[in-house]
């Protein structure tokens, strides 16, 4: 019996030159960087460019790290994230687009995370080769300029959106969503400043504490949605019944505060009476029928120079309590001692 001599398996050599590239010309043709570029002329420059395979979730670029490569996405999908590699993406990168070019050009640490959303393949162009491509092809340099301009425009849009979002947060942090009046957070910030200014300048500062009488019974009878309408109606009457310089606050539930710069007790009491009378007409209807007017109890006080915020509000609250005990629908003043 003859025995065949085993033949050692040898892997075929990797083709050299352009035939051995890890990417296809058709993939390059989709790249924004190479739009209207004669690929046959630049292919020899790309012969040594490696490709990199990214697994889903793998971080390609990390904030704060130096980056010396521009990455062209050949397949898959990347995401751009700001706070961390696990934060919500602000945008996505699709095949044909690039990342990393800005940090290569300005030599600054990267400012965003680039994370693979899917299994992705990128072509790696290092800094030296990028400048060679720019200098050797007018079309490449023009395309890169377009990419950078678009990146800058998008960055400005993100900044504008963030600024708008910040303004919305600030607004909702200081304004009561239901009534549009200032809220407790605003009061805690601004009342100490207003009191300090009044004390420093020797100006009077009046304060009204207002409560809607028997509001719980009203709420129980007609429901919370109608109750909310009443709160809104009362808030609007209060806002429309004071000067532009006065500040109305929804203190909580059915309670309101009104800060009256320049007002002494007598003047503040007159404002309280005017507001009490303003809600004498119905402020809301239920199922097409105007409901009976609500009434207000009002406590009035004036700041003394040594008052703390708590003491100032507490004195107005005590005056309100006296108004409630006096039968409601009335205004009671409590002078500082």
What pLDDT digit, counting tens, does each position of 231-244 carry?
A: 999 999 999 999 98
267 shares its domain with 157: no
Residues 6+ apart with CB under 8 A from 23: 49, 51, 74, 123
215 shares its domain with 296: yes
Q: Is 132 a member of any domain?
A: yes
CA distance 143 to 20: 27
Q: Which residue has the tokens 């019974």?
A: 217
Q: What average pLDDT does the segment 248-269 reach?
A: 94
326 shares its domain with 192: yes
Q: Which of 165, 200, 223 is the endpoint of a domain?
A: 165
How far is the CA of 64 from the CAs of 67, 112, 130, 155, in angstroms? 9, 8, 22, 17
Q: What average pLDDT does the segment 327-331 reach?
A: 92
How far is the CA of 173 from the CAs of 10, 229, 239, in angstroms? 72, 22, 19
CA distance 72 to 51: 9
Q: Is 179 a member of any domain?
A: no
60 shares its domain with 141: yes
Residue 309, pLDDT > 70, answer yes
Q: What average pLDDT does the segment 70-96 reach?
A: 90
Is residue 254 annotated as a catalytic residue, yes or no?
yes
Residue 4, pLDDT > 50, answer no
Residue 3, pLDDT > 70, answer no
Q: Among 7-16, 85-94, 185-194, 267-276, whose mean pLDDT is lowest?
A: 7-16
What pLDDT digit, counting tens, does each position of 157-183 carry?
A: 655 665 666 566 556 678 888 999 999
318 within 8 A of 334, measured Cβ to Cβ: yes
Range of the domain at 311: 184-333
Q: Is 73 a member of any domain?
A: yes
Q: What percent of the chain has pLDDT over 70?
A: 84
149 shares its domain with 29: yes
Active-site residue, from 176, 213, 246, 254? 254
Q: Is 170 a member of any domain?
A: no
Q: Is 327 a member of any domain?
A: yes
Q: Which of 130, 165, 200 is the endpoint of a domain?
A: 165
229 shares its domain with 133: no
Q: Which residue has the tokens 């075929």?
A: 12
Number of domain units in the chain:
2
pTM of the model: 0.53
Q: What average pLDDT does the segment 211-237 reach?
A: 87
CA distance 137 to 134: 6
Among 7-16, 22-31, 198-207, 280-289, which range has the highest average pLDDT?
Answer: 198-207
Q: What average pLDDT does the segment 128-145 reach?
A: 87
Q: Which CATH number is 231's domain given?
A: 3.30.70.270
Q: Is 1 a member of any domain?
A: no
**Residue 33 CB neighbours (<10 A):** 25
Q: Which CATH number is 156's domain given?
A: 2.60.120.10
Q: Is 10 a member of any domain?
A: no
308 within 8 A of 199, measured Cβ to Cβ: no
147 shares its domain with 217: no
42 shares its domain with 158: yes
93 shares its domain with 215: no
Q: Which of 116, 132, 165 is the endpoint of a domain?
A: 165
Q: Is 95 a member of any domain?
A: yes
23 shares its domain with 135: yes
Position 122 confidence tier, pLDDT thresholds 50, 70, 90: very high
188 shares its domain with 156: no
Residue 20, pLDDT > 70, answer no
292 shares its domain with 238: yes
């Amino acid at each position: 019996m003859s025995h065949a001599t085993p033949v050692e398996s040898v892997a075929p050599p990797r083709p050299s030159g352009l035939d051995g590239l890890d990417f296809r010309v058709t993939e390059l043709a989709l790249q924004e960087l190479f739009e209207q570029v004669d690929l046959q002329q630049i292919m020899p420059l790309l012969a040594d460019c490696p490709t990199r395979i990214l697994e889903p979730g793998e971080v390609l670029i990390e904030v704060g790290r130096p980056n010396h490569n521009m990455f062209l996405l050949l397949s898959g999908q990347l995401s751009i994230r700001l706070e961390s590699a696990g934060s919500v993406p602000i945008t996505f990168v699709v095949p044909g687009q690039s990342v990393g070019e800005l940090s290569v050009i300005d030599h600054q640490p990267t400012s965003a995370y680039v994370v693979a959303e899917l299994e992705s393949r990128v072509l790696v162009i290092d800094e030296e080769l990028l400048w060679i491509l720019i200098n050797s092809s007018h079309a490449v340099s023009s395309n890169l300029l377009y990419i950078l301009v678009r990146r800058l425009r998008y960055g400005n849009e993100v900044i504008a959106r963030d600024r708008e979002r910040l303004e919305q947060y600030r607004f909702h942090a200081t304004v009561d969503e239901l009534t549009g009046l200032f809220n407790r957070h605003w009061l805690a910030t601004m009342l100490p400043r207003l009191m300090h200014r009044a004390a420093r300048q020797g100006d009077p500062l009046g304060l009204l504490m207002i409560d809607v009488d028997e509001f719980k019974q009203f709420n129980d009878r007609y429901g919370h949605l109608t109750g909310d309408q009443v709160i809104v109606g009362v808030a609007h009457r209060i806002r429309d019944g004071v000067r532009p310089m006065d500040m109305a606050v929804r203190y909580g539930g059915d309670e309101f505060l009104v800060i009256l710069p320049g007002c002494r007790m007598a003047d503040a009491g007159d404002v309280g009476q005017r507001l009490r009378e303003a809600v004498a007409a119905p402020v809301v209807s239920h199922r097409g029928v105007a409901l009976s007017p609500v009434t207000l109890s009002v406590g009035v006080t004036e700041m003394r120079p040594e008052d703390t915020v708590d003491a100032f509000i507490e004195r107005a609250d005590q005056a309100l309590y006296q108004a409630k005990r006096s039968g409601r629908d009335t205004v009671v003043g409590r002078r500082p001692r």
